[in-house]
Every structure is written in C-alpha cells, then in structure tokens.
C-alpha cells in the first residue's frame, strides 16, 4: 500500500484541542434542541446557544494551528466558501431583525390604540387592518428569503485529515446557525403560511426531523395567535381583553428575539473578520 496514504498533516496535532471538543458539544446541544421544540422561548434559547457556540468558534480561530490550517493555499477556496456563508448568515439575520422590528412597531401601534380608545371602533378597525396588512408584507418577504436561501447549507464530504475536519466543523456551525434562524423566520411566518412552502422542505423535515415536525404542529405561536384573534375581533366575535394580553406577550417575545439576534449578529461579524484576516495573511 502506498505509504503516503498514512501520512498525516503536521499543521494540526493528532490530539484535538479542548476548544474543538467544546464546539462539538454546543453543536450537539443545538441539534437536540432543534428536534424538540420550535416555540419562541425555545428559539430564544437556541439563539443564546448560538452565541455561546460562536464564542467558541472565535477562540478556535485565534489558535495558531487553526490559522495555519486555513491559510494553506489549497484551503483558501474553503475559506472563501465560509466567508460567503457568513455573509449570507448576516443577510438572513438582517431579514429576521427587520421582520421582528416591523411586527413590533405594529404591535405597539395597536397597544397605543387600546390605551387611548374611547369607544371609537373605527380607529381600532383601521389599526387592526394596518397590522394585518403589515403581517402579509412581512410574510411575503420571509417566504421569498427562505426560498432564496436554501443553498446556504454546506454539504461537506467526509474529512480525511485534520484540516478538512476543521473546515467541515466550521461549515456545520454555519448550517446549524442557518437552521435556527430559519426556524425563527418560520415562527414569524406562522404555521399556516409555512405550510405553503415547497413540498421538498416538508418531505425533508419528515425524513430527517420527524420530532421537529410534530412539535411545529403543536407548539404555541404568539404571532399566529395574535393574527387569528385580530381577525376574529374584526368580525365582532371577540372581546378586546384577550388580544391585549396576547399583544403584551408577543411584544415581550419579540424583544427577547431581537436582543438575541443583535448579539448573534455581532458575533457573526467578528467571525467574518477573523476569517478575512486569515485569508489575507
């Protein structure tokens, strides 16, 4: 057998660095959490997990062994792919933040109406219709984004050396990050609208994550609940008290998600800068 088959690269030590193992642990926890629940509180927790994951990735990228491996000429194409992935992740984060901000502003507009309302049903009706129209716009934007971003997930071949193993790990970090933000967009979209996405997505989830699909059917969705309650209110089949509580809960959920995404975006930018520095050195 060719002796070169057994040759190992000297740029990465045989023993894995503790930071590498920590990245693996965060990835496993995030994959597990994605298969159990897709509620807003669960996604907020997953975004926090992503923050911890990317903190570990930043530490990994500061190691000289990581920089040497990624800086090799034959690996620069892989680094370019990671850079492209990081840019798309920042784009989808921006879309999610815009969707949350637009929804929150509409929620606050409704709450303002309820606070000063003096029996003026016309003003309330106008504001409710504005909210529902805004939601339709948000949903269309998200549906378009989800269709355009299907190609973000990396498909890595089985690693045959330590350098390729690290590239594969970084691509897996991108993929898991994308999955969490995709779940957030699907939450904002609502289950009814989400069901209109491509049949490929539905079949893929049934095959790969049956538990997640089951949870999506049953987990509470504050966005959809408010939409449904407002539609009922327009038809004079509901009182205002229920919707007031739901709007408060939705605003609180949106704020948590916004804060988490903002913190995650800063980490994504930091990772991108580290990759650019490695590529340019």
Q: What is the pLDDT of residues 142-169, one digit of tens each?
A: 998 888 776 555 444 444 455 577 888 9
Per the structure, the complete domain to which residue 118 belongs is given by: 18-151+159-280
User: E strands within the chain?
Assistant: none
Query: What pLDDT is attached to residue 2?
Result: 43
Closest CA relative to residue 79, chosen from 163, 201, 148, 176: 163
- Indicate whether 4 belongs to any domain: no
Q: What is the pLDDT of residues 4-57, one digit of tens each?
A: 333 333 444 445 678 989 999 999 999 888 776 678 999 999 999 999 999 999
| Side-chain-facing half-sphere of 199: CA atoms under 13 Å | 0
Q: Quick one: average pLDDT of 119-136? A: 86
Q: What is the pLDDT of residues 48-93, one digit of tens each?
A: 999 999 999 999 999 988 888 887 756 677 888 889 899 999 999 9
Closest CA relative to residue 89, chosen from 275, 252, 256, 222: 275
- Indicate whether 259 belongs to any domain: yes
Q: Quick one: average pLDDT of 177-205? A: 68
- Cβ neighbors of 198 (< 8 A, separation 6 or more) are 147
Counting Cβ atoms within 10 Å, is residue 23 exposed (0-12), middle (13-18) or buried (19+)? buried
Residue position matching structure tokens 């709450």: 111
What is the DSSP secondary-structure string of 74-97? Answer: GGHHHHHHHHHHHHHHHHHHHHHH
**Cα dihedral sign for 183, 185, 189, 194?**
negative
Question: How many domains, the chain?
Answer: 1
Query: What pLDDT is attached to residue 158?
Result: 46
- Indicate whether 246 belongs to any domain: yes
Q: What is the pLDDT of residues 234-277, one digit of tens each?
A: 877 666 778 888 999 999 999 999 999 999 999 999 999 998 88
Q: Taking the chain, what is the end-to-end CA distance rounded to the nearest angstrom?
A: 37
Confidence check: pLDDT of 108 > 60? yes
Query: What pLDDT is attached to residue 4?
Result: 38
Q: Quick one: average pLDDT of 123-145? A: 91
In a 3-state reduction of DSSP, which class is residue 161? coil
- Cβ neighbors of 31 (< 8 A, separation 6 or more) are 176
In whole angstroms, give the CA distance from residue 98 to residue 184.
12
If you ran DSSP here, which 8-state letter would residue 9 be given? Answer: -
- Indicate whether 5 belongs to any domain: no
Closest CA relative to residue 38, chosen from 248, 203, 182: 182
Query: What pLDDT is attached to residue 120?
Result: 61
Confidence check: pLDDT of 196 > 50? no
Confidence check: pLDDT of 227 > 50? yes
């Amino acid at each position: 057998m060719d002796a070169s088959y057994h040759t190992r690269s000297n740029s990465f030590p045989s023993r894995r660095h503790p930071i590498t193992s920590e990245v693996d642990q965060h990835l496993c926890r995030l994959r597990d959490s994605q298969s159990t629940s897709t509620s807003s509180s669960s996604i907020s927790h997953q975004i926090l997990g992503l923050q911890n994951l990317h903190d570990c990735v930043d530490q990994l990228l500061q190691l000289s062994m990581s920089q040497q491996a990624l800086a090799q000429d034959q690996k620069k194409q892989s680094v370019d792919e990671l850079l492209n992935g990081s840019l798309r992740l920042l784009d989808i984060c921006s879309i999610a933040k815009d969707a949350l901000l637009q929804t929150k502003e509409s929620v606050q507009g409704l709450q303002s109406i309820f606070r000063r309302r003096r029996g003026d049903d016309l003003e309330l009706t106008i504001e409710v219709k504005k909210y529902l129209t805004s939601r339709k716009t948000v949903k269309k934007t998200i549906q378009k984004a989800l269709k355009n971003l299907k190609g973000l997930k990396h498909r890595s071949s089985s690693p045959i050396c330590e350098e390729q193993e690290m590239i594969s790990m970084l691509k897996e970090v991108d993929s898991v990050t994308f999955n969490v933000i995709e779940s957030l967009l699907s939450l904002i979209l609502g289950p009814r609208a989400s069901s209109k996405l491509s049949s490929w997505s539905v079949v893929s989830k049934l095959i790969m994550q049956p538990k997640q699909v089951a949870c999506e059917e049953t987990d509470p969705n504050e966005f959809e609940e408010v939409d449904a309650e407002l539609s009922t209110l327009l038809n004079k089949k509901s009182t205002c008290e229920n919707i007031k509580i739901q709007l408060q809960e939705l605003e609180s959920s949106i704020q948590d998600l916004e804060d988490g995404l903002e913190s995650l975006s800063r980490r994504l930018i930091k990772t991108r800068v580290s990759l650019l520095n490695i590529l340019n050195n």
